[in-house]
């Protein structure tokens, strides 16, 4: 006898559709562990961008991140980066949409971008340390 509940009332997607969905999700986001591993190589292949305020950045940020608040992401701030530079944005955590706002700005400017899901909260949850100071 099968039990119906909130989990199985709507059946799971066909596996081929699920592959397309989850592959698409990974085009938009990455996680803290993968960012940390890439940063540890010294040549991560992306620019990690903290989109919070300079004051919050100074209090604690992911080591190696650049601070550019999401409201200040404009083409003139990006002239030193080749057009194909991948940017990875993050903010405070899952309760904050700053990383999404920043990613939207990059996409509107025609730049490749992903969001580091979890932000600072996820970074700390994974056991990684923060750097402090302005840069």
- 133 belongs to a structural domain: no
Where residue 134 falls among pLDDT bands split at 50, 70, 90? confident
- The predicted pLDDT at position 108 comes to 97
- The predicted pLDDT at position 1 comes to 61
- 17 belongs to a structural domain: no
Q: Residue 65: which of 83, 81, 44 has the closest Cα?
A: 44
Residue carrying the six token digits 């190696």: 64
Order of strands, edge to edge, in the sheet holding 113-117?
29-31, 113-117, 87-90, 47-50, 66-67
- 104 belongs to a structural domain: yes
- 49 belongs to a structural domain: yes
- Domain of 38, in residue numbers: 29-126
Residue 74 belongs to a domain with what CATH number? Answer: 3.40.250.10
Provide the number of structural domains found in the chain: 1
- 134 belongs to a structural domain: no
Q: Residue 28: which of 109, 84, 112 has the closest Cα?
A: 112
Where residue 2 falls among pLDDT bands split at 50, 70, 90? confident
Q: Report the C-alpha gap between 102 and 134 in whole angstroms.
A: 20
13-31, pLDDT tens digit by residue? 999 999 999 999 999 999 9
Question: Does residue 103 surpass a pLDDT of 70?
Answer: yes
- 98 belongs to a structural domain: yes
- 95 belongs to a structural domain: yes
Q: Report the C-alpha gap between 53 and 50 in whole angstroms.
A: 8
Question: Does residue 52 surpass a pLDDT of 80?
Answer: yes
CA-CA distances (angstroms) from residue 38 to 13, 21, 22, 92?
32, 24, 21, 20
104-129, pLDDT tens digit by residue? 999 999 999 999 999 999 999 999 99
- 100 belongs to a structural domain: yes
Q: Report the C-alpha gap between 56 and 58 in whole angstroms.
A: 5
Residue ranges of E strands in the chain: 29-31, 47-50, 66-67, 87-90, 113-117
Average pLDDT over residues 31-48: 98
């Amino acid at each position: 006898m099968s039990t119906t509940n909130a989990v199985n009332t709507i059946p799971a997607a066909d596996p081929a559709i699920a592959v397309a969905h989850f592959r698409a999700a990974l085009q938009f986001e990455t996680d803290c562990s993968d960012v940390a591993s890439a940063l540890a190589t010294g040549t991560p292949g992306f620019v990690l961008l903290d989109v919070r305020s300079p004051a919050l950045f100074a209090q604690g940020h992911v080591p190696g991140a650049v601070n550019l608040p999401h409201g200040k992401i404009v083409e003139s701030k990006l002239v030193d980066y080749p057009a194909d530079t991948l940017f990875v944005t993050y903010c405070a955590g899952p309760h904050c949409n700053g990383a999404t706002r920043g990613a939207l700005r990059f996409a509107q400017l025609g730049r490749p971008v992903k969001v580091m899901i979890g932000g600072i909260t996820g970074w700390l949850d994974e056991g990684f340390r923060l750097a402090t100071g302005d840069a």
